[in-house]
């Protein structure tokens, strides 16, 4: 309570630091199936409470319950399972490859696999994602070549980006995956523009914008929401709240807002909050938002509540700022284990099939890795030509760059 006297500055702190006991008692988790599923043409102001709850489908027993359940077949869920397992295995192998010095840098998705893998399945060919560096599930689930992803990570002679980009900054027009930038939040407003262009052109394609909890503090986030709201752009505005922005806990970006989803309400954008570790819930919510966009009903904002289990990147050590066992205490569990339990309950999966799938996927990833490494790694083997450095700055190389290329002797 403020009394007369000197002012003090409020600086939010996470509940627990290294050495402490992880505590998520402040994270209110509603029961699976408890949140209603509104009609897609709902008036945004009538569903304001959805921005403060969490849409969940899978309950503690692994059953799919409530109004958001029942959208996916056994086959689709098994495919989703394999996508998530593939992404996790891919991450593990690339993390090791970085430690072995085969590349300079890597960022994993550990614990967040459901978000991008399930979301991808709600899109149609021609739609465009504007991802951050932590949505490679969009590529994996979209059928992009793992070899090409690895070649990009290795910056080798087959790197689709010719060695110009840091590892994991993929780009694939064909797979609806916009070129990743190191500058945070820039793509959020670009996604809105892309969606506006689709509407201007009377097209049927929609865009999906992606951002993390920390980057919502960037001004481009706010610009994106204003433009999406003003022009009712056919865009899904995704916020992946994994609780951490490198070492900074989400409270620093969120401030006094109850949730990140609540940010959308002030812009008149329907805003949902979903269990990001629940493959079925992520898919159901993404489908709802995609349908709204496709029916020209405008943007939807979605906050995925999840947890960044891994380090921020290969250059980060989370034990310096959060308890080592914090991820074990995360109340929404692990997306792969939760879907596995559900599939077993449905009779569409078994421990045996899971182990078999793990082995198959590992073989596939290792085979892809061998193939990728045959085209070189960062410090060994074939490399992109130094001439590539000068190409593609402009459509046509201007005279000053031709001179510089000549000087470089390439």
Partner 1 sequence: MARMTMIEAIRDAMDVMMARDEKVVVFGEDVGYFGGVFRCTAGLQQKYGRTRCFDAPISEAGIVGTAIGMATYGLRPCIEIQFADYMYPAYDQIVSEAARLRYRSNGEFTCPMVVRMPTGGGIFGGQTHSQSPEALFTHVSGLKTVVPSNPYDAKGLLIAAIEDPDPVIFLEPKRLYNGPFDGHHDRPVTPWSKSDLSEVPDGHFSLPLGKASIVREGAGVTVLTYGTMVYVAQAAAAETGIDAEIIDLRTLLPLDMETIAASVRKTGRCVVVHEATLTSGFGAELSALVQESCFFHLEAPVVRVTGWDTPYPHAQEWDYFPGPARVGRALVETMEA
**Could you list the residues that contact partner 1 (CB under 8 A)?**
128, 130, 160-162, 164-165, 169, 171-173, 178-179, 181-183, 186, 188-201, 207, 219-220, 222-224, 226-227, 230, 392-395, 398-400
User: Which residue's CB is nearer to partner 1, number 54 or number 225?
Assistant: 225
Min dist CB 123 to partner 1, Å, is 16
Min dist CB 218 to partner 1, Å, is 9
Helix/strand/coil (H, E, C) string of the chain?
CCCCCCCCCCCCCCCCCCCCCCCCCCCCCCCCCCCCCCCCCCCHHHHHHHHCCCECCECCCCCECCCCCCCCCHHHHHHHHHHHHHHHHHHHHHHHHHHCCCCCCCCCCCCCHHHHHHHHCCCCCCCEEECCCCCCHHHHHCCCCHHHHHHHHHCCCCCCCCCCCCCCCCCECCCCECCCCCCCCHHHHHHHHHHHHHHHCCCCCCEEEEEECHHHHCHHHHHHHHHHHHHCCCEEEEEEECCEECCEECHHHHCCCCCCCHHHHCCCCCEEEEECCCHHHHHHHHHHHHHHHHCCCCCEEEEEECCCCCCCCCCCCHHHCCCCCHHHHCCCCCHHHHHHHHHHHHCCCCHHHHHHHHHHHHHHHHHHHHHHHCCCECCECCCCCHHHHHCCCCCCCCHHHHHHHHHHCC
User: Which residue's CB is nearer to partner 1, number 188 or number 279?
Assistant: 188
User: Which residue's CB is nearer to partner 1, number 85 or number 191?
Assistant: 191
Query: Tokens at residue 53, please?
Result: 């709850």
User: Which residue's CB is nearer to partner 1, number 186 or number 341?
Assistant: 186
Min dist CB 410 to partner 1, Å, is 16
Give the distance from CA 226 to its chain's centroid. 22
User: Which residue's CB is nearer to partner 1, number 149 or number 207?
Assistant: 207
User: Which residue's CB is nearer to partner 1, number 25 or number 219?
Assistant: 219
Query: Using CA atoms, how far apart are residues 115 and 323, in angstroms rounded to an integer?
Result: 24
Min dist CB 143 to partner 1, Å, is 17
CB contact at 8 A, 188 and 211: yes
User: Which residue's CB is nearer to partner 1, number 2 or number 173?
Assistant: 173
Min dist CB 203 to partner 1, Å, is 8
Min dist CB 144 to partner 1, Å, is 13
Min dist CB 338 to partner 1, Å, is 35
Min dist CB 30 to partner 1, Å, is 35
User: Which residue's CB is nearer to partner 1, number 35 or number 191?
Assistant: 191
Query: Tokens at residue 205, please?
Result: 């394609």
Min dist CB 210 to partner 1, Å, is 13
User: Which residue's CB is nearer to partner 1, number 157 or number 171?
Assistant: 171
Query: Using CA atoms, how far apart are residues 29 and 51, in angstroms rounded to an integer?
Result: 13
């Amino acid at each position: 309570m403020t009394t007369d006297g000197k002012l003090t500055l409020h600086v939010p702190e996470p509940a627990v630091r290294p050495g402490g006991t992880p505590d998520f008692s402040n994270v209110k988790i509603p029961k699976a199936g408890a949140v209603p599923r509104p009609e897609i043409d709902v008036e945004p102001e009538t569903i304001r409470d959805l921005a403060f709850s969490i849409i969940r489908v899978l309950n503690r027993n692994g059953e799919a319950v409530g109004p958001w359940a029942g959208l996916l077949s056994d086959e689709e869920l098994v495919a989703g399972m394999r996508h998530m397992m593939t992404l996790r295995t891919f991450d593990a192998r690339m993390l090791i490859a970085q430690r072995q010095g085969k590349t300079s840098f890597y960022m994993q998705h550990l614990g967040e696999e459901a978000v991008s893998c399930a979301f991808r399945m709600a899109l149609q060919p021609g739609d465009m994602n504007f991802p951050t560096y932590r949505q490679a599930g969009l590529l994996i689930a979209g059928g992009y070549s793992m070899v090409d992803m690895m070649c990009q990570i290795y910056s080798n002679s087959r790197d689709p980006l010719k060695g110009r980009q840091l590892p994991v900054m993929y780009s694939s027009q064909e797979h609806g995956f916009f070129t990743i930038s190191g500058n945070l939040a820039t793509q959020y407003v670009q996604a809105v523009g892309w969606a506006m262009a689709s509407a201007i052109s009377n097209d049927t394609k929609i865009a999906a914008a992606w951002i993390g909890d920390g980057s919502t503090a960037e001004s481009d986030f706010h610009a994106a929401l204003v433009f999406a709201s003003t022009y009712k752009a056919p865009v899904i505005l995704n916020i992946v709240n994994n609780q951490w922005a490198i070492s900074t806990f989400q409270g620093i970006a969120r401030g006094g807002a109850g949730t990140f989803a609540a940010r959308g309400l002030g812009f008149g954008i329907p805003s949902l909050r979903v269990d990001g570790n629940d493959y079925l819930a992520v898919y159901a919510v993404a489908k709802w938002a995609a349908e709204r966009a496709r029916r020209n009903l405008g943007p939807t904002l979605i906050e995925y509540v999840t947890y960044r289990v891994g380090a921020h990147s290969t250059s980060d050590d989370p034990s310096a700022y959060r308890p080592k066992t914090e991820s074990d205490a995360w109340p929404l569990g692990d997306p792969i284990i939760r879907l596995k339990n559900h599939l077993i309950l449905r009779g569409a999966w078994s421990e045996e099939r899971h182990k078999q799938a793990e082995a198959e996927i590992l073989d596939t990833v290792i085979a892809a890795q061998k193939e990728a490494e045959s085209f070189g790694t960062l410090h060994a083997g074939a490399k992109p030509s130094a001439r590539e450095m000068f190409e593609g700055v402009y459509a046509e190389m201007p005279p000053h760059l031709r001179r510089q290329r000549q000087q470089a002797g390439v």
